[in-house]
Amino acid sequence: MAPTHTTQKLIRHFQRTHGIPLNLRKPRFWANRFNAYYDVATRQLMLPRQARGAELREFTFHEIGHALIHQYVVPVRFISRFVSESPGLSRNKALDLMGDDVPAPPGWVSWYAMINGTEDFCEVLGAYAANGYRSQGEWRFNGFSFNVSEDRLLQKKIAWVEEILQECHLQAA
């Protein structure tokens, strides 16, 4: 299946599941293999052209998190909880740690999540959505497996993601 079709299907499923309409243009794919972003000006998800399967789902749901923050103006008090848990790693340091091919420590779904509270929210949302919105059991994300049931901090973060999704749903109503 073409990445554009798959991505649009994922976006529609997300919108139906949470009752949160997203004002997005058709996603664009580009050559940068490891970089994705939400373009605020064009309201587009910019995704790596080569991404497929789990990687495409993870990128898509992560960037949906950025779209939610911008489109629904998620209150700072919700994101600040993630900020308080973030050690404030620099982007370069987090990317270096990602390159070491080791799992993130407990409470985190990836090293990239440690950059700041917004990225932590988007990474947790990406992992949560890519794992069927399960808040317990085994998850796969970013090439690693971990048990959410045993991670209290991650369970708190999932609850915060659910609260943000509910807030966006209420704004959409």
pLDDT in tens, the chain (173 residues): 567 788 999 999 999 999 999 999 999 898 877 689 999 999 999 999 888 899 999 999 999 999 999 999 999 899 999 877 777 777 777 778 777 788 888 999 998 898 889 999 999 999 999 999 999 999 999 999 999 999 999 999 999 999 999 999 999 98
> What is the pLDDT, as a whole number, of residue 101?
83
Is residue 30 classed as helix, strand or coil in its secondary structure?
strand
> What is the pLDDT, as a whole number, of residue 1?
56
Instruction: Report how far apart, in Å, the C-alpha atoms of 1 and of each of 5, 8, 48 are.
Output: 7, 11, 15
| Spatial distance between the Cα atoms of 104 and 142, rounded to a whole number of angstroms | 10
Give yes or no for a contact between 171 and 72, defined as CB atoms under 8 angstroms apart.
yes
| Spatial distance between the Cα atoms of 37 and 169, rounded to a whole number of angstroms | 23
Q: What spatial distance separates the first Cα and last Cα of the chain, rounded to whole Å? A: 33
**DSSP class of residue 90?**
-
| Spatial distance between the Cα atoms of 4 and 2, rounded to a whole number of angstroms | 6
> What is the pLDDT, as a whole number, of residue 57?
94
Residue 101 tokens read as 């091919």
| Spatial distance between the Cα atoms of 60 and 8, rounded to a whole number of angstroms | 9
> What is the pLDDT, as a whole number, of residue 19?
96
Residue 34 tokens read as 């490891």
The number of angstroms, rounded, from the C-alpha of 45 to the middle of its chain's C-alpha atoms is 12
Model confidence, pTM: 0.93
| Spatial distance between the Cα atoms of 134 and 148, rounded to a whole number of angstroms | 9
Amino acid at 33: R
**DSSP class of residue 137?**
S
